[in-house]
Amino acid sequence: MAGTMSGTSLDGVDAAMIRTDGARVLEFGRTEYRPYSPIEREILRSALGREGGSEIAAATKVVDAAHVELLSGFRDAELIGFHGQTTFHSPDEGRTCQIGDGGSLAYALGLPVVWDFRSEDMRHGGQGAPLAPFYHFALARRLGISEPVAFLNIGGVANLTWLDTSREAPESPDACLAFDTGPGNAPINDLCQDRLDAPLDQDGRLTAAGSVDASILKRLLEHREYFLRTPPKSLDRNTFSGWLSEVDECSPDDAAATLAAGAAQAIAIGLTHCPSAPTRVLVSGGGRRNSGLMALISEALDCPVLPVEEVGMDGDMLEAQAFAYLAARVRSRLPTSAPGTTGATEPVCGGTISEP
State pLDDT tens for residues 179-208. Answer: 999 999 999 999 999 999 999 999 999 999
Hey, do 2-128+318-354 and 133-311 end up sharing a CATH topology, with the first three levels equal?
yes
pLDDT at 272: 96
pLDDT of 81 over the 90 cut: yes
Cα–Cα distance for residue pair 240/245, rounded to 1 Å? 10
Kindly report the pTM of this predicted structure. Answer: 0.95
Query: For residue 148, is the peptide bond before it cis, meaning its omega torsion is within 30 degrees of 0?
Result: no
Pick the CATH number of 133-311 from 3.40.50.300, 3.30.70.1710, 3.30.420.40, 2.170.190.11: 3.30.420.40
What are the pLDDT digits (tens) for 144-167? 999 999 999 999 999 999 999 999
Secondary structure of 26-94 in the HEC alphabet? EEEEEEEEEECCHHHHHHHHHHCCCCCCHHHHHHHHHHHHHHHHHHHHHCCCCCEEEEEEEEEEEHHHC
Express each pLDDT in 273-320 by its tens digit. 999 999 999 999 999 999 999 999 999 999 999 999 999 999 999 999
The residues spanned by each domain of the chain are 2-128+318-354, 133-311
Out of 25-29, 198-202, 219-223, 249-253, pick the least confident.
219-223
Average pLDDT over all residues of the chain: 96
Q: How confident is the model at residue 9 (pLDDT cuts 50, 70, 90)?
A: confident
Output the CA–CA distances (angstroms, integers) from residue 75 to 64, 170, 283, 318, in the order listed. 16, 30, 30, 20
CATH 3.90.1300.10 matches 2-128+318-354: no
Q: For residues 106 and 77, is the Cβ–Cβ distance under 8 A?
A: no
The stretch 260-264 carries a mean pLDDT of 98
Q: What is the pLDDT of residue 224?
A: 73
Tell whether the model's pLDDT for residue 223 goes beyond 80: no
pLDDT of residue 8: 80
pLDDT at residue 339 is higher than 90: yes
pLDDT value of position 124 = 96
pLDDT at position 139: 98
Under a CB-based contact definition with an 8 Å cutoff, are residues 30 and 17 in contact? Answer: yes
* pLDDT score at 190: 94
User: Using one digit for the tens of pLDDT, what is the confidence trace for 93-113?
Assistant: 989 999 999 999 999 999 999
Query: DSSP per residue over 164-227, as a string?
Result: -TTSSSTTSTTSEEEEEEEE-SHHHHHHHHHHHS-SS-GGGHHHHHS---HHHHHHHTT-HHHH
Query: What does the angle CA 150 – CA 342 – CA 237 come to, to the nearest 5 degrees?
Result: 85
pLDDT surpasses 90 at 7: no
